[in-house]
């Protein structure tokens, strides 16, 4: 049975990217918060890092908001920590017991931050 596993994955178009979040099958050239990173953060991070932190999550930031809401940092201020915890070879967020984003979703988050974590296509910058 084990040798069949890779074949099953190959035979399944979009494997790993058809769940929540952006649901993209590739990393867009110019990812934005509105179109790409935001939906991923909303689905996979905001359940704990939302308006009301839950699951033991720290309360100094929220990942369901783009920027600081007046008292807590948002995704753009946390961009480097998002990359550190949710992208790369050994991501530690979301915690192993929570629903995991696809590899593509993680790459989109990394590309978004590398691009300066823009809000929308029009703004170009971080604000
Ligand atoms: C099931 C709940 C849960 C989900 C979902 C979750 N986290 Fe966390 N997160 C935690 C907990 C608990 C901590 C505190 C313990 C720790 O730092 O590991 C934490 C801490 C953090 C921190 C602060 C510590 C640091 O390293 O700066 C960041 C940033 C973070 N998470 C990012 C994310 C991102 C990005 C996602 C989505 C891809 C995510 N988390 C999804 C529970 C969650």
pLDDT of residue 68: 98
Residue 23 sits at the vertex; the CA angle it makes with 15 and 64, to the nearest 5 degrees, is 135
Question: Tens of pLDDT along 31-84?
Answer: 999 999 999 999 999 999 999 999 999 999 999 999 999 999 999 999 999 999
C-beta of 86 in contact with ligand 1 (< 6 A): yes
Decide whether any atom of ligand 1 lies within 6 Å of the 110 Cβ.
no
Residue 110: band (very low, low, confident or very high) from pLDDT cuts 50, 70, 90: very high
In ligand 1, the atom with minimum distance to the C-alpha of 56 is 12
Q: Are 70 and 51 spatial neighbours (Cβ–Cβ below 8 Å)?
A: no
Residues 86-109 have pLDDT tens digits of: 999 999 999 999 999 999 999 999
Instruction: List domains and CATH numbers for the chain.
Output: 27-114 (1.10.760)
Quote the pLDDT of residue 105. Answer: 98
Cis before 94 (ω within 30): yes
């Amino acid at each position: 049975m084990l040798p069949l596993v890779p074949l099953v994955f190959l035979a399944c178009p979009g494997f790993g990217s058809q769940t929540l979040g952006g649901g993209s099958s590739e990393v867009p050239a110019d990812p934005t918060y509105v179109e790409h990173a935001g939906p991923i953060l909303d689905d996979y991070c905001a359940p704990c890092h939302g308006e009301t932190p839950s699951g033991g999550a720290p309360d100094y930031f929220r990942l369901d908001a783009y920027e600081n809401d007046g008292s807590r940092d948002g995704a753009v201020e946390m961009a480097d920590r998002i990359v550190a915890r949710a992208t790369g070879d050994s991501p530690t967020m979301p915690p192993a017991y929570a629903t995991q984003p696809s590899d593509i979703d993680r790459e989109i988050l990394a590309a978004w931050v590398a691009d300066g974590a823009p809000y929308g296509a029009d703004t170009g910058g971080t604000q």
